[in-house]
Amino acid sequence: MISVLLGASAALCWGAQNVLLAGVARRGDPDVAALWYVTYMALLAAPFALATGDLSDLADGTIGYFVLAGLVQAFGMIAFTRALGIGPVGMLTGLLSLEGSGAAILSFVAGESVGLPVAAGLLLASVGGVLLVASRSGGSPNRGVGLTLAAVACFAASLFCLGHYEANLALTMLVFNGASSLAIAGLLKVQGRSLATGRFESARSESVMILIAALGLLGLVSFAYGSRQGSTAVTAVLSAQFGAVAAIGGYFHFGEKLAPSQIAGFAILASGVSLVAAFA
């Protein structure tokens, strides 16, 4: 049950985060938005890492996995923030939710097993998530879809590493997001671009970005803890339903319409989640 609760918590956090991040990406440079998103997450995790972390937790090569996961996340964040800058947040975030299925598949390959009712629930949840964003009525450019699919591959791999290799959570978040921040900052500097374009213009704009980072960090902590204490597959697929949350947010915040197939997706998604909750 802990995987169900924390997976749902991660979905709520990430759904709200992506709606807010879309607004930031559309008002400025998406790459800079990606940089400060992961940078603020690292800064928010730092005090907790210093208070509770022990570097011995990162022995035996574990730190290498988290650094690698952070580097992979950096490319995923750049791809996805660029996609949010050009396409509808509901559809693209829903498409991104396939990262949960990817992480679940990687966990199955690594040897994790689940019962038949849970597997059926995970399948229904994934189908519902796909139907939720199946309509192209939002007019998303092919480039936005392609960038999001690239982000799916990156995030699935990084989420698997977070759930599969254990260490102090705050320390994990610091290393993971710190590596992402350094990678994006390095890429921007190599390209001769500013690290602050569109940022630090007002306290309000930075408070919104810090809120986005806090939601992202809380979602990652929920995902990682749910994966370690329960099932990576269950946590991954349920957390991936942030697409549903973002679709609702996109409707109310950006006026994005929901097609009948997307509404049907909600019903199938709810059925899958209920099945997983009953048998997990």
Domain ranges of the chain: 2-279
pLDDT of residue 107: 64
Predicted model pTM: 0.80
pLDDT of residue 57: 64
pLDDT of residue 105: 65
| CA dihedral for 31, 129, 152, 180, sign (positive or negative) | positive
Euclidean distance between CA atoms 158 and 147, whole angstroms = 17
Euclidean distance between CA atoms 10 and 20, whole angstroms = 15
pLDDT of residue 16: 93
Give the pLDDT means over successive 10-residue stretches in the chain (280 positions).
86 92 90 95 92 71 83 94 87 75 64 71 77 57 82 84 72 90 96 87 88 92 81 74 81 75 74 66
Q: 42 is written with which tokens?
A: 């690292």
Q: Which residues contact 26 (CB under 8 A, 6 or more apart)?
A: 84, 85
Main-chain phi, psi angles of 198, to 5 degrees: 80, 5
Q: Is 25 left (phi over 0), alpha (psi -120 to 50) or beta?
A: alpha
Closest CA to 22 of 262, 237, 242, 176: 242
Report the Cα 167 to chain-centroid distance in Å: 20
Closest CA to 199 of 21, 22, 85, 33: 33
pLDDT of residue 170: 85
